[in-house]
Amino acid sequence: MDVILFGATGMVGQGVLRECLLDPRVRRIASIGRTGIGDKHAKLDEIVHANLFDITALDLQNFDACFFCLGVSSAGMSEADYRRITYDLTLSVAGTLVKQNPDMTFIYVSGAGTGGRAMWARVKGDTEDALLKLGFRAAYMFRPALIQPMHGIKSRTAAYRIFYAITKPLLPLLRRFPKYVTTTEAVGRAMIEVAANGAAGKTILESEDINISANQVSAAAPNAGA
């Protein structure tokens, strides 16, 4: 399949990109962002686009899936500013894509607790609801809780880097609880699996669902995640 990736410079996006490059089911990855990522690979096309709120000039109709990993922390942000990035930007991108190719599968990285009373949870919930109604052939909302960065990947958010440094000795133990903990590798592998084969009737995948999908590597991709 041919995949569009938003947010390749973030912690989750880095993990998703890595798994896409490794998985033979993915023929091509178009990474779209305001800045380049600097990676060179035969399967990777970097598209630097300054205004992500308007991607109408890009020809993206021949892709099978979009993995939307772009997001920001709500810490210190007003609801209006957070909504602009989380809801407005996501729906602007998705709205353009569904017009170009409604047969595309759209996978959005949300978060555990989405739909709750907290500001970020309400905004994420509104974003999920709108995406599910847009008219894609399929749309899936990924709601990971704690994500362990793998393979040298680091968050660009200082507070998260400190958190992961402090909890690093505990992460192998915490991974025994798949309802609450996943990894950047698992998220990437799950996205590919769900885009290729669906998610057993689910549209919202929590951490445990993500881990289950990540382990369902088909015989067509024996080297995925190596």
Residue at 184 is within a domain: yes
Task: Report the percent of the chain where pLDDT is more than 90.
Answer: 75
Domain span at residue 50? 2-214
Query: Residue 100: its pLDDT value, please?
Result: 96
Spatial neighbors of 137 by CB under 8 A, at least 6 apart, are 102, 103, 104, 105
The amino acid at 131: L
Query: Residue 11: its pLDDT value, please?
Result: 92
Q: How many CB atoms lie within 10 A of CB 48?
A: 11
* For range 140-150, the mean pLDDT: 92
Number of continuous H segments (helices) and E segments (strands) in the chain: 8, 9
Residue at 221 is within a domain: no
Residue at 225 is within a domain: no
Residue at 37 is within a domain: yes
Q: Look at 9-23, 36-50, 64-78, 209-223 and tell me which has the smallest mean pLDDT.
A: 209-223
Token pair for residue 82? 């957070």
Average pLDDT, the chain: 89
The CATH number of the domain where 148 resides is what? 3.40.50.720
- How far is residue 31's CA from residue 14's CA, in Å, rounded to a whole number? 11
Residue at 85 is within a domain: yes
Query: Residue 170: its pLDDT value, please?
Result: 61
Q: Look at 93-102, 116-125, 217-226 and tell me which has the smallest mean pLDDT.
A: 217-226
Domain tally for the chain? 1
Residue 219 has pLDDT above 50, yes or no: no
What tens digit of pLDDT does each residue of 28-74 get?
A: 999 999 998 887 899 999 999 999 999 999 999 999 999 999 999 89
Residue at 168 is within a domain: yes
DSSP 25: T
Whole-prediction pTM value?
0.88
Nearest to 31 by CA among 73, 60, 72, 56: 60
Residue at 220 is within a domain: no
SS3 assignment for 159-171: HHHHHHHHHHHHH
* For range 72-84, the mean pLDDT: 94
Query: Residue 218: its pLDDT value, please?
Result: 46
Query: Residue 157: its pLDDT value, please?
Result: 56
Q: Look at 24-33, 69-78, 116-125, 215-224 and tell me which has the smallest mean pLDDT.
A: 215-224
* For range 142-165, the mean pLDDT: 71
Residue at 34 is within a domain: yes
Nearest to 58 by CA among 40, 33, 41, 87: 33
